[in-house]
Amino acid sequence: MNAEALKAAEKVFPGGVNSPVRAFKSVGGSPLFIKRASGSRIFDVEGREYLDYVGSWGPMILGHADPDVIAAVTRTAASGLSFGAPTEAETELAHLVREAFPVIEKMRLVNSGTEATMSAVRLARGFTGRPLIVKFDGAYHGHADSLLVSAGSGVATLAIPGCPGIPESIAACTLVLPFNNIAALQACFEKHAGQIAGVIVEPVCGNIGVVNPADGYLAALRKLCSEHGALLIFDEVMTGFRSCFGGVSNLTEVCPDLTCLGKIVGGGMPLAIYGGRAEIMAHIAPDGPVYQAGTLAGNPVAVAAGIATLKKIKSQPHFYEHLLARAGKLEAGIAAAAATAGFKAVSNRFGSMFTMFFTDQPVVDYATAKTSNTALFARWFRGMLAEGVYLAPSQFEAAFLSAAHSDADIHHTIVAATHVFKQLAAGK
Catalytic residue check, 215: no
C-alpha 313, offset from chain centre: 19
Q: Which of 235, 257, 365, 409 does the annotation list as catalytic?
A: 235
What does the alpha-carbon distance between residue 32 and residue 29 come to, in Å, rounded to a whole number?
Answer: 9
How crowded is residue 192: how many other Cβ atoms within 10 Å of its Cβ? 16
Count helices and strands in the chain by DSSP H and E runs: 15, 14
Asked if residues 100 and 246 have their Cβ atoms less than 8 Å apart, the reply is: yes
The answer to whether 327 and 352 are in contact (CB under 8 A) is yes
140 is annotated as an active-site residue: yes
* Strands lying side by side in the sheet with 389-390: 34-38, 41-44, 49-52, 389-390
Closest CA to 197 of 180, 175, 166: 175
Is 291 annotated as catalytic? Answer: no
Q: Is 267 helix (H, G, I), strand (E, B) or coil?
A: coil
**Sign of the CA dihedral with 25 first, then 28, 29, and 32 last:** negative
Choosing from 25, 44, 52, 140, the catalytic residue is 140
Name the H helices within 110-216.
Answer: 113-128, 154-157, 168-171, 182-191
Annotated active-site residue in 135, 263, 312, 370:
263
One-letter amino acid of 79: S
- Give the sign of the dihedral formed by CA 262, CA 329, CA 216, CA 190: negative
Handedness of CA 282, 287, 288, 292 (dihedral sign): positive
Residue 230's SS3 state is coil
Element spanning 90, H or E: helix 88-100
Positions marked catalytic: 140, 235, 263
